[in-house]
A and B are shown apart, each in its own frame.
Chain A
């Protein structure tokens, strides 16, 4: 921690934690809008916007990381601090006489406008009125201050305070301190015993004898082209960053009943949903890459275990590679259990700085900048923006995640539950230079085929599934 003078006031400023460094790193090869996350939660009810404004004001005060800002020290190093609470204007936008689709397009545009990075608020809340009697809030945050868990937490807080003001229900519990949690994370970074243990784990993972193999959702084209360009027929990695990071989003909804079948399966076999999704994804990647047995996917780890981690806001996501090597004779269930065990192993070492890992791996494998073995990542988000809806259980809800228009890597798959029926939505955010909407649809189609062929007969082998689909 160091004290810095910011606009005449001395503020306690802290270094970035590894999760923030991960986002900051993206700015080296993407425009700043890549860090914008836009969401909306709307209810079909006659909203009292004065009360909603007051609920937002109180939430700003309670939720520390909505007041998180960045600054630079005399050496140009980025630091963070919590600015004191101050009254902020909350905009109101009435889209009630617009076509709903146009209203969402407008909010997508808002999401693509980056925040000024130093000594300014890193979020904005707008009160919104939509057609058909829906109204609520649009929230835009910078990813260096909040991740999806924090966004869900903040939105839920606004809703709870609004209901408390309007209906006299209970106010939300106070948050845990972000700064105390940050101090714990920074203490880990100070060459702690835990960090040394994790460093050793990732070193051994990285230095394994057999090098991983790059597999791509669009087949082997990218790898084969780069092998030719580099005159290296044995190259097993590929450069995945792009000069044109323009992105789009495709959302596919798996109906309520089949989604429930997946959830019931996970419960019966005691496997996490993320493991099942990863098993499906790696098998599709295998199919698209000449039945490759060695497939690696980036897995997103939310790192919110303790209550103080869960309820202190901020951004805590780390990404690590999840490597799977599966022979065609292996059964679907054995593959699934292997992924579950691998995930558990990674969880134990997930506090390690993912940028440090990436840098060391590039050095060790003599990569080009921006090269990787992974073409895509998976985030499974069990929480919904609307939370458990206990405050207004009978009121129809709509929730949205808006694209910011750019993406660092070729494809991010985020799977989350729909608030209205708990079915699964598959959000594919993809770089348009790497893949088309039609190819995404294709990928989703195969993903569902693999997963359902796998769960209907767990003794079916991977080879059999690859042949069936």
Chain B
């Protein structure tokens, strides 16, 4: 999942994928804005063929939280 997120997020910002860890924050560290962030989650949603809850995803801040959320949807 981490690799998938790295691949997708690097379509949005110029950021070294090797520097992305579970603790990396999408907005503060990688510089995504709120539009980028929602679109990026939309790409992940399509890629993993799951449906996210809009009210829940706005609380995601870090890569680790995104991994945990999307893993929970796959279960």
Contacts and interface: CB of A to CB of B under 8 A. Distances in A.
Interface of A: 194, 270, 272, 301-308, 340-341, 343-345, 347-348, 350, 382
Given A303-B35, A305-B39, A341 B12 contact: no
Contact of B36 (A194, A270, A305, A343): A305
Contacts of B34: 272, 340, 343-344, 347
Nearest to B35: A347
Interface in B8-43: 11-14, 27, 33-36, 38-40, 42
B35 A340 contact: no
Contacts of B35: 301-305, 347, 350
A272 B33 CA distance: 8
B38 A307 contact: no
Closest 10 CB pairs of A and B: A305-B39, A347-B38, A305-B36, A306-B11, A272-B34, A344-B58, A347-B35, A345-B54, A344-B38, A348-B38
B12 A307 contact: yes
Contacts of A345: 54
A305 B32 CA distance: 8
A305 B12 contact: yes
A307 B54 contact: no
Nearest to B14: A307
A305 B40 contact: yes
Interface string B25-69: 001000001111011101000100000001101100100000000
Contacts of A340: 34, 58
A348 B46 CA distance: 12
Contacts of B54: 341, 344-345, 348
Contact of B58 (A194, A303, A341): A341
Contacts of B42: 348
B55 A341 contact: yes
Interface of B: 11-14, 27, 33-36, 38-40, 42, 46, 54-55, 57-58, 61
A68 to B, nearest CB: 24
A303 B58 CA distance: 18
A340 B35 CA distance: 11
Nearest to A301: B35
Contacts of A270: 27, 61
A348 B36 CA distance: 10
B47 to A, nearest CB: 13
Contacts of B58: 340-341, 344
Contacts of A343: 34
Contacts of B61: 270
Given A301-B35, A308-B11, 4 more contacts: A305-B36, A344-B58, A345-B54, A348-B38
A348 B34 CA distance: 11
Nearest to A346: B38
A308 B39 CA distance: 13
8 contacts: A305-B35, A305-B39, A305-B40, A306-B11, A307-B14, A340-B34, A341-B54, A344-B58
Contacts of B40: 305
Contact of B13 (A194, A307, A347): A307
A271 to B, nearest CB: 9
A213 B58 CA distance: 28
Contacts of A272: 33-34
Contacts of B55: 341
A337 to B, nearest CB: 9
Nearest to A272: B34
B39 A347 contact: yes
A344 B60 CA distance: 12
A202 to B, nearest CB: 14
Contact of A306 (B27, B39, B46, B57): B39
A345 B33 CA distance: 14
A307 B31 CA distance: 13
Contacts of A348: 38-39, 42, 54
Contacts of A303: 35
Contacts of B38: 344, 347-348
Nearest to A274: B34
A272 B35 CA distance: 10
A26 B72 CA distance: 46
A307 B11 contact: yes
A304 B39 CA distance: 10
A224 to B, nearest CB: 37
B20 to A, nearest CB: 16
Nearest to B46: A194
B27 to A, nearest CB: 8
B44 to A, nearest CB: 12
B66 to A, nearest CB: 14
